[in-house]
Amino acid sequence: MSKYDPLREHLARLEDVVWAAKLGDLESILGSGLPKSAREHRTWWANSGGSLVHQNSWLDAGWRVERTDLPRDVVVFRRRRIAGTSLAVSSRTSAAKQVDGANARERRLAREMPALRQPVTVTLRAEWTALGAVHKVPCSAAAIPEGAGVARIVYLDGDQPRSIIVETTNIQPFYRALRLEL
């Protein structure tokens, strides 16, 4: 058991998307003090994982450190997976006793995670196709790509361009609602 497991468990149980914590609160959760480097160096709060047990505690729980304000003793965490995490260790209530096989898979995944935390370089190229003005162009299946993807909708808010990213599986209902709104 790691010194930082209580932090992982705490984050896994949170239902929030963002959590700002004072360093003192984190020490209360851990039941011990943070190392001096956590109070002095932002790099201690990086999201690189690997063999760094303290970073893996929040990464394994599905969170990442969004920013630090060490002069004010504040760290802001943001959830990476909105659906939450299955790595939380909770009391076994009747609702939590549903499937022991799932618990075994969760424990195995928790053991495998450190080996999967290797750095990777990802290059992303996005190409956008203009469809035209919303009030003039109907949202037909021919205009929307099949399969998984996203669509970017750009509009003017006053004289400032704004963008909305929508999953292609949800684009037709969104597009129809937007046309009705306009």
What does the buried/exposed string (b/e) look like for 87-96 if buried means 16 or more CB atoms within 10 Å of the residue's CB? bbeeeeeeee
Q: Domain boundary residue among 94, 116, 138?
A: 116
Query: pLDDT-based confidence at 108, cuts 50/70/90?
Result: confident
Give the span between the Cα atoms of 116 and 129, in whole angstroms.
Answer: 36
92 shares a domain with 57:
yes
Cross-strand pairs, 153: 164
Q: Average pLDDT of the chain?
A: 77
Q: What percent of the chain has pLDDT over 90?
A: 33
Residue 169: per-residue pLDDT: 75
The mean pLDDT of 147-151, rounded to a whole number, is 71
Residues belonging to the chain: 182
Domain with 131, as residue range(s), is 125-182
168 shares a domain with 88:
no
170 shares a domain with 89:
no
Domain count, the chain: 2
